[in-house]
Amino acid sequence: MHRSLILASSSPYRRAQLEQLRLPFECVSPHINEEALAGESPADLARRLAAEKARAVATTRPEALIIGSDQVAECGGHTLGKPGSRERAFEQLKSCSGRRVTFHTGISLLDSGTDRQRTEVEVFTVHFRQLSDAQIERYIELDKPLDCAGSFKVEGLGISLFEKMEGSDFNSLIGLPLIRLVDLLRESGVDPLCVISRPDGN
């Protein structure tokens, strides 16, 4: 691979996901304002922030392929952010009990050398089980999902909260739609099955 690959994120979850593709990359925090605009839909917000994250990093990384991603969850017309506290996590999970939650995950790939950028939004839906207060408290205690949108870690015990899932890419639920990302990378001349990094990172 001739150009550097940059993940515009400080998320350890997205870093772990991108590592699955075995491509050499580095992480750079984008430092942008993530507040929604007036009247902005969850899908439009996820799309805009994913693109802006990539753009924010491009100023210091010329000739690179930069990945931006952002996720917005909604339940009953209300946006679910990262809870930040046990109390807020309990409130979120209580409100989701027995209901459907939709995740809009924006994925953007920017070639800072040509200024070509492609941005997509993957939609994934989960149907929550009816949960008792005791089950919610126990889940929060065990998985500690305080830095996760929607207050759960699907890659952990969070899977036990759901009755079913609907969507084309399970990875988008964690935060980085890998199937769509591979499509975008291939369009830019990078195929993970042709450029595999060795254990030493070279």
Cβ atoms < 10 Å from Cβ of 41: 14
CB-CB contact of 76 with 99 (8 Å)? yes
Helix, coil or strand: residue 164 = strand
**47, 101, 172 from 72: Cα distances, Å:** 10, 10, 11
State the catalytic residue, choosing from 70, 111, 143, 169: 70
Cα–Cα distance, 65 to 85 (Å, whole number): 35
Cα–Cα distance, 75 to 70 (Å, whole number): 17
Q: Is 70 a catalytic residue?
A: yes
Positions annotated as catalytic residues are: 70
